[in-house]
Structure 1
Amino acid sequence: MPTSLVTGGAGFIGSHIVDQLLTIGHKVIVFDDLSGGRLENVSTDAKFVKGSILDHDLLSELFETHEIDYVYHLAAYAAEGLSHFIKRFNYQNNLTGSVNLINESVKHNIKCFVFTSSIAVYGNQTPPMSESMVPQPEDSYGIAKYAVELELKASKEMFGLDYVIWRPHNVYGERQHISDPYRNVIGIFMNQLLHGESLSIFGDGSQTRAFSYVGEIVPLIAESAMNQEVYGETFNIGSETEISVKALAKQVMKAMKLASHINYLEARNEVKHAYANHDKVKRYFGGLQETSLELGLQKMADWAKKSSHQPSKKFESLELTKNLPPFWK
């Protein structure tokens, strides 16, 4: 029975990866500091260890104690827009912590390191984003993700560390942390509706994204570590159907069966249109079964209305406030 370590395994995508790995017969160790994840997300069939990827001594002890075959690295603070204003926090959590994990993976000769990056690495290039494009990230979050990608490639060349890189985009679904006001627009909309608030949109809402239901992407990510044919490869993964944020707001209200009005805020500095090409994942894996946005939103809405959620809280340790969107102050 192979042993897999999942960092961020109490979080949104991570907990679904854990479930999938258990389904295909892995022993799973979940490593999470619970800053964004919830213990209730973790299957009782997995071993849970509370800790931060910034604690390299604890990571070292973890690898020494367990014979880990595969590492799935999902621990991150994924707030693209906010990352400009929390640079130190962003690079510590999304880059330095990742390097700690890569170091231990090299020392202990793991078989494959699976990393969830982001299409944020592409920046403001003309969509659809393709893996053949040279990344040009425009925010600190995207820069950190791309740096980890480069570090994995360097570690392969120097130490023989095999890896698979995934670039998911705008993933939504059950267990998403919807109380975070800085990331995951679908979760933000649902949380605002549950608390009787108006829906907040930066700019005129014409910016477009392709939203990916979590159940679509998890099986391929989980199974990729055991597929040596994809070692060293990078894949976009997610939906191919783009929608404007303004139209999305209406779809979310329909799924939640709750009405509200839209509060249009001053536009912020963000990529206007972002969606990806998925020809490569189709070529290697045969693609994925796409869940319609209507069905995916309904599944998430049903979960959100049955779950307990806290009101949104502002980030307490901003490092920069110059040009901070007024709504975030």
Structure 2
Amino acid sequence: MSWLVTGGAGYIGSHVTHAMCDAGIPVVVIDDLSTGFAEFVAPAATFVEGSLLDGALVEDTLRRNGVRGVIHVAGYKYAGESVNRPLHTYEQNVTATLTLLSAMQRAGVEAIVFSSSAATYGTPDVEVVDESTATTPESPYGETKLIGEWLLRDVGRSAGIRHTSLRYFNVVGSGSPRLFDASPHNLFPKVFDMLYRGETPRVNGDDYPTPDGTCVRDYIHVADLALAHVAAARRLDDGLPVERVYNLGSGAGTSVAQIMTAIRTVTGIDFEPTIMPRRPGDPARIVATGDLAARDLDWTMRHSLEEMVSSAWEARRQAGDTYPR
């Protein structure tokens, strides 16, 4: 009996897949390779190339591999771009989730861990959010993630599917030099790519009401995130109670200026970032507490900021001219 990881050839999904395999859990991966890399898939995993929108393929994959649970990581994860591509975002994040849940019901699969997002909170009116903070998403991406949580809730009530959703902010670092973040929209790969080309990184705004004037966010190491997914899957496997939602956060946060300092230290490249205007809608500070996840999922920040930066930089250097593809 195995677990299915959707999007298991992507940056986050591949780390989850490797962590599941390392824990001795048989894994099947389904990924359409629109943003993932086949070589990211753990060698011990079974790989199926295909789309979650293909319900027949998904159901066949579940049945053929004796899948007992799903970790749903696949999705269109670009909040800013989702504003320009709302229909694509809804198709990839809502229609695909609905198709997956339908296939799970037909195949008798009764457990799912949903990789959600702190984008569901929008711009909260508190400095540190917890699971009771109001959800007011401000992008199609955040909306689709919240709808995904609603779908799990409703199917859980009607069909008895056991589920939990993990919300998190900025995922960084690398658990292996060969697994890198290829997103053109995330802070670390954007800065590293500019440094790789000999350009000067940019910071959007340095006049926020924070200690150093730059935005403060939660940054968590992708390997820590992967372990939380494994813990959630194990808890569902064991029939233990789970919360409907868990935040995976640091409780403290890190500023963009602190990130830039760490990048200078780790890379040995001396630079002063170019200060750009604020981006509309960027809140000064968004940080989440991970207390519930620490209680149930052994959640903790196992990596320092320097380790996050150094592991991500090493993976970027290893990728060389193959990145971006």
TM exceeds 0.5? Answer: yes
State whether structure 2 residue 116 is matched by structure 1 residue 117. Answer: yes
Corresponding residue number in structure 1 for 2:194: 192
Shift of 1:185: 0.6
Residues 162-177 of structure 1 correspond to what in structure 2 (within 5 A)?
A: 162-174=162-174, 175-177=179-181
Of residues 82-91 and 151-160 in structure 1, the stretch that sits farther from structure 2 once superposed is 82-91
User: What is the rounded CA distance, in whole Å, between the counterparts of 1:40 and 1:86 in structure 2?
Assistant: 28
State whether structure 2 residue 279 is matched by structure 1 residue 276. Answer: no
- Name the SS of the counterpart of 2:152 in structure 1: helix
Q: CA deviation digits over 1:268-327, x for unaligned, max 9?
A: 2334121101121122235424311012211221222122355669xxxxxxxxxxxxxx
- Name the SS of the counterpart of 1:31 in structure 2: strand
**Which amino acid in 2 is paired with 1:167?**
R
Gaps of 5+ in 1: 314-329
Corresponding residue number in structure 1 for 2:302: 290
Q: In the comparison of the two structures, how many residue pairs are matched?
A: 310
User: What is the rounded CA distance, in whole Å, between the counterparts of 2:324 and 2:12 in structure 1?
Assistant: 20
Shift of 1:261: 3.8
TM-score (norm 2): 0.89
Corresponding residue number in structure 2 for 1:306: 318
Structure 1 189/100 Cα, relative in aligned 2: closer, same or farther at 3 Å?
A: same
User: What is the rounded CA distance, in whole Å, between the counterparts of 1:253 and 1:237 in structure 2?
Assistant: 27
Contact 1:216 1:238 in 2 (8 A): no
Give the fraction of aligned pairs with identical amino acids, expressed as a percent. Answer: 27
Residues 223-242 of structure 1 correspond to what in structure 2 (within 5 A)?
A: 223-227=231-235, 228-242=239-253
State whether structure 2 residue 85 is matched by structure 1 residue 74. Answer: no
**Which amino acid in 2 is paired with 1:203?**
G
RMSD: 1.9
Corresponding residue number in structure 2 for 1:129: 129
Corresponding residue number in structure 1 for 2:209: none
Of residues 128-137 and 55-64 in structure 1, the stretch that sits farther from structure 2 once superposed is 55-64
Contact 1:6 1:29 in 2 (8 A): yes
Corresponding residue number in structure 2 for 1:94: 93
Structure 1 147/11 Cα, relative in aligned 2: closer, same or farther at 3 Å?
A: same
TM-score (norm 1): 0.88
**Which amino acid in 2 is paired with 1:32?**
D
Corresponding residue number in structure 2 for 1:220: 228
**Which amino acid in 1 is paired with 2:289?**
N
Shift of 1:233: 2.5
Corresponding residue number in structure 1 for 2:53: 54
**Which amino acid in 1 is paired with 2:233?**
A
Corresponding residue number in structure 2 for 1:5: 4
Q: CA deviation digits over 1:234-257, x for unaligned, max 9?
A: 101133331221331232232222
User: What is the rounded CA distance, in whole Å, between the counterparts of 2:24 and 2:39 in structure 1?
Assistant: 21
Corresponding residue number in structure 1 for 2:146: 146
Gaps of 5+ in 2: 207-212
Structure 1 39/308 Cα, relative in aligned 2: closer, same or farther at 3 Å?
A: farther
Of residues 203-212 and 144-153 in structure 1, the stretch that sits farther from structure 2 once superposed is 203-212
Of residues 2-11 and 260-269 in structure 1, the stretch that sits farther from structure 2 once superposed is 260-269
**Which amino acid in 2 is paired with 1:200?**
R
Contact 2:171 2:222 in 1 (8 A): yes
User: What is the rounded CA distance, in whole Å, between the counterparts of 2:321 and 2:2 in structure 1?
Assistant: 33
User: What is the rounded CA distance, in whole Å, between the counterparts of 1:160 and 1:231 in structure 2?
Assistant: 14
Contact 1:81 1:270 in 2 (8 A): no
**Which amino acid in 2 is paired with 1:303?**
A
Q: CA deviation digits over 1:42-62, x for unaligned, max 9?
A: 122111111111222322332
**Which amino acid in 2 is paired with 1:277?**
T
Of residues 230-239 and 81-90 in structure 1, the stretch that sits farther from structure 2 once superposed is 230-239
